[in-house]
Amino acid sequence: MGKLFYIMGKSASGKDHIYEALLRDPALGLSPLVLYTTRPIRQNERDGREYHFVDQEKMVRLRLAGRIIEERVYDTVFGPWYYFTADEGQIRLDRDSGHLFMTGPAVEVFTGNIDIPENLYYDG
């Protein structure tokens, strides 16, 4: 059964280094999970690599469909920018491999909209 691994930490805390090291380890069998954002794409970024860049309308459709796992919003001078994890069919927990994703420290909402069998929870 596959697993989700979430790396969370402040800016410059070493998340990227840990993330890349874990992805390079073939024994772990992890694949990256690209998060979503409503912020504008920046120069040298590519949709589907750094983020899935979507508008707020698509975010609302995903939310109403119960596809958003977690989300957070940052109020910027350009207005609110949302960052979120959504499952549009790319999360496969029926395999022995896992998915790895990361974010900053403020995960505001965990909606629990993903079916994770009880035996995947670590309680120790």
3-class DSSP state of 7: strand
If you search the block for the tokens 């009880």, which residue do you land on?
Answer: 118
Q: Is residue 70's pLDDT more than 60?
A: yes
pTM of the model: 0.73
Any idea where the domains of the chain sit in the sequence? 3-120
35-44 pLDDT, tens digit per residue, is 999 999 999 9
Range in 25-29, 44-48, 67-71, 95-99 the model is least confident about:
95-99
3-class DSSP state of 30: strand
Q: H helices of the chain, where?
A: 15-24, 56-64
Q: Is residue 109's pLDDT more than 50?
A: no
Nearest CA-CA partner of 100 in 20, 32, 17, 14: 32
Quote the CA–CA distance of 107 and 70 in Å, as a whole number. Answer: 7
First to last CA, the chain: 19
14-65 pLDDT, tens digit per residue, is 888 888 888 888 888 888 889 999 999 999 999 999 999 999 999 999 999 9
3-class DSSP state of 4: strand
- Residue 101 contacts residue 31 (beta carbons within 8 Å): no
Given this structure, which CATH class describes domain 3-120? alpha beta
Dig out the tokens for 101 from the structure. Answer: 């994703």
> What's residue 113's pLDDT?
47
pLDDT grade, residue 7 (50/70/90)?
Answer: confident
Quote the CA–CA distance of 26 and 3 in Å, as a whole number. Answer: 15
